[in-house]
Amino acid sequence: MLTEKAMVRELRNNQDAYLPLKVEFRHSPQSTIDPSDLSIDIKWRDRKVNFAAEMKTRTSPKGILQTLVQMRSVAPQFRQKFLLLVPYLSKTITEMLIQDGVSGLDLNGNYLIQTDSIVAIRVDRPNRFTESQPIKKIFSKNSSIVGRLFLVKGGGFQSLHEIGSKIAQLGGSLSLSAISKLLKALEEELIIEKTPGHIHLLQPEKLLERLGDGYVLPTITGIRKVKIPQIEQDFAEKFVPLIPSSSRWVISGESSAKHYTQTAQPDVLTLYTNDFGSSAERDDDHSYNLVVKETPDFFPFFDSREIEGTRWSSPLQCYLELSKLAATQSDLLLKLKQMILTNHPLRT
C-alpha cells in the first residue's frame, strides 16, 4: 500500500500527467513538510485555484465517505478549496465527489475539479496502483455469488451462517471465510451495510451494475451438439435422463429469457452442465438444436428455476448474459432489470 510520502513523490515526478491542467506545489519540491499539510495549485490558462489537499492512501469508498461526511458541514465556498488526493479515482469515488461538489485528483493523471473558476474532468486513465485484496474481482465468476444473493432475496440477513445456508440452498458453494471476505469488500464499496445482527443491501441498482460490469462467461471444458426432434416437448423426457442425477445443469440465461419476458426463443438452446453423462448418444454436429457446454464453475447454476422438469436460469443470470450481447434489445434488458429490482427500493 502506498504511503503519504510516496504519493507526494509520485505527484512531484508526474506533474505533466494532468495537462492541460497544471499542477504545482506551493512549497519547494525539496521541502520535507508533513504530507498532511500539502497545498496544491491547479492552473488552467489564466485561472488558478489553491487547494488544501487531504490524502487517502487507499481507494476504499467507505473511507472516502467518512471524509465527505465531515466536509458536508463546511460552507460551500470553503468546500471548493478542498482537494481529495487518492491513488485512483474510481467510478464510485468520482460519483461520490460529484454528488458532494468536492474536487479530486489521483496519481494516474485523472482529475475532477469543481470550482467557480475551473471545472474539469478526466477519468479515463488506467489505475497503476492496484491494491492487494484478499479476494479480487468480487463481481465476477463464483465470487459474485454473495452479491447475487442480495438481489435474489429481498430484505437482509441476520448472520454469516444464514448467508452461507441460503447460498447452499440456491445451488452455490462458498466457505464461510470466503463469504466473510466478500461481505467486507461489498461493505467497503458501500453496497451493503453491516450492523449488529443485520446485514442488508444499501444500493441494489449499483450492485446490479457492478455485477454486469464484472460478468464473464463460464469456463468451458467441453462442448457437445445435440439434436432433439421436438425440443420443447421432448427435452425433459428424452434428454434430461441422459444427464447424471447428481450433476448440475441449467438452460443458459440467453436461452431462458423467454420465460420472464416476451421475447423469441433462440433456434438453438444452450445448456450448461458439470457432467456430460451419456448425452454423447445424441451427438449431431449438423442438424443440432441444443449445445451442451461443460463447465466447472457453479455460478451459472445459482438460483435456477425448475419448470415442468426443465431447469431455467434465473432472471439475474439472464440479465447478466444478455447484457454482454451487442444485439440484445435495450427494452428486454430493462424489463429484466425491473424484475430483478422489484423487491428492492432504489437508493442513490
Q: Hunting for cell 485512483 — which residue is that? A: 88
Tell me which residue of 304, 268, 303, 301 sits closest to 286, measured CA to CA. Answer: 268
- The C-alpha cell at 146 is 454473495
pTM: 0.71
Of 57-61, 104-108, 203-207, the least confident: 57-61
Q: Identify the pLDDT of residue 324.
A: 86
Of 11-15, 92-96, 132-136, 296-300, the least confident: 132-136
Q: Identify the pLDDT of residue 279.
A: 63
- The C-alpha cell at 233 is 416437448
Q: Identify the pLDDT of residue 9.
A: 87
Q: Identify the pLDDT of residue 63.
A: 83
How many helices and strands, by DSSP H and E, does the chain display? Answer: 12, 16
The whole-number average pLDDT for the span 187-216 is 92
The whole-number average pLDDT for the span 68-87 is 84
Quickly list H helices, 200-295. Answer: 204-214, 231-234, 253-256
In contact, 98 and 112? CB cutoff 8 Å: yes
| pLDDT higher than threshold 90 for residue 319 | yes
DSSP secondary structure letters along 119-152 = EEEE--SPPS-PPP-SS--TTSGGGGHHHHHHHH
Q: Identify the pLDDT of residue 345.
A: 43
Q: Is the preceding omega at residue 20 within 30 degrees of 0, hence cis?
A: yes
Q: Identify the pLDDT of residue 29.
A: 42
207-226 CB burial, b ≥16 within 10 A, e <16: bbebbbebbeebeeeeebbb
Q: How confident is the model at residue 130 (pLDDT cuts 50, 70, 90)?
A: confident
60 compared with 312, residue with greater pLDDT:
312
In contact, 121 and 89? CB cutoff 8 Å: no
DSSP symbol at 297: -
Tell me which residue of 52, 94, 49, 101 sits closest to 72, measured CA to CA. Answer: 101
Please tell me the distance from the alpha carbon of residue 28 to that of residue 95, in angstroms, as a whole number: 33
Q: Which residues, listed in sequence order, are joined to residue 310 by a DSSP beta bridge?
A: 307
Q: Which residues, listed in sequence order, are joined to residue 290 by a DSSP beta bridge?
A: 226, 269
Of 157-166, 249-258, 277-286, the least confident: 277-286
| pLDDT higher than threshold 60 for residue 269 | yes
Please tell me the distance from the alpha carbon of residue 85 to that of residue 5, in angstroms, as a whole number: 12
The whole-number average pLDDT for the span 257-264 is 84
Q: Identify the pLDDT of residue 136.
A: 61
Q: Identify the pLDDT of residue 133.
A: 53
Domains of the chain: 4-122 (3.40.1350), 141-214 (1.10.10.10), 222-341 (no CATH)
Q: How confident is the model at residue 31 (pLDDT cuts 50, 70, 90)?
A: very low
* Cα 57-76-103 angle, rounded to 5 deg: 35
Q: How confident is the model at residue 326 (pLDDT cuts 50, 70, 90)?
A: low
Highest mean pLDDT among 66-70, 118-122, 305-309, 332-336: 118-122
Q: 3-state SS of 233-253?
A: HHHHHHHHHHCCCCCCEEECH
